[in-house]
Amino acid sequence: MRIAQPAHRWFAGLLLSAASALALAQAAKPHVVVLATGGTIAGAGASTLNSVTYVAAKVPVEKLLAGLPELASVARLTGEQVFQTASESFNNEHLLTLARRVSALTKQADVDGIVITHGTDTLEETAYFLNLVVHSAKPIVVVGSMRPGTALSADGALNLYNAVSVAASQDAAGKGVLVTMNDEIQSGRDVAKSINIKTEAFKSQWGPLGMVVEGRNYWFRAPVKRHTVHSEFDIDAIETLPAVDIVYGYGNMNTTGIEAYGKAGVKALIHAGTGNGSVAAQAVDALKALRAQGVQIVRSSRVPDGFVLRNAEQPDDKYDWVVAHDLRPQKARILAMVALTKARDSKELQRIFWEY
DSSP β-ladder status, 202-203 and 178-181:
unpaired
- Return d(Cα 144, Cα 217) in angstroms, integer: 18
8 A C-beta contact, residue 336 and residue 343:
no
- 143: three-class secondary structure by DSSP: strand
Rounded to whole angstroms, how far apart are CA atoms 313 and 44?
47
Q: What is the mean pLDDT of residues 48-75?
A: 87
Structure confidence at residue 150 (pLDDT)? 81
- What's phi and psi for 296, nearest 5 deg? -75, 135
In tens, the pLDDT along 157-179 reads 999 999 999 999 999 999 999 99
Say whether pLDDT at 54 is over 80: no
Task: Using alpha carbons, select from 249, 247, 242, 61 the residue that is nearest to residue 164.
Answer: 61
Please state the rounded mean pLDDT for residues 269-291.
98
Report which of 148, 122, 171, 158 is spatially closest to residue 55, judged by C-alpha positions: 148
> Whole-angstrom Cα distance, residue 22 to residue 342?
50
Residue of 313, 165, 4 whose CA lies nearest to 157 = 165
The helix/strand/coil state of 337 is: helix
**Mean pLDDT (the chain, rounded):** 93
Q: Which domains does the chain have, with CATH numbers?
A: 29-230 (3.40.50.1170), 243-355 (3.40.50.40)
Catalytic residue positions, numbered: 40, 120
Are 98 and 132 within 8 A, CB to CB? no
Closest of 92, 148, 93, 96 to residue 117, by C-alpha: 148
Q: Indicate whether 14 pLDDT > 80.
A: no
Cβ-based neighbour number of residue 331 at 10 Å? 25
**Whole-structure pTM value:** 0.91
Mean pLDDT, rounded, for 100-113: 98
Indicate if the pLDDT at residue 302 is higher than 80. Answer: yes
Q: Which of 119-133, 140-154, 165-179, 235-249 has the lowest mean pLDDT?
A: 140-154
Q: What is the mean pLDDT of residues 314-337?
A: 98
Q: What is the pLDDT of residues 189-246, one digit of tens each?
A: 999 999 999 999 999 999 999 999 999 999 999 999 999 999 999 999 999 999 999 9
How far from chain centre, in Å, is Cα 271? 22
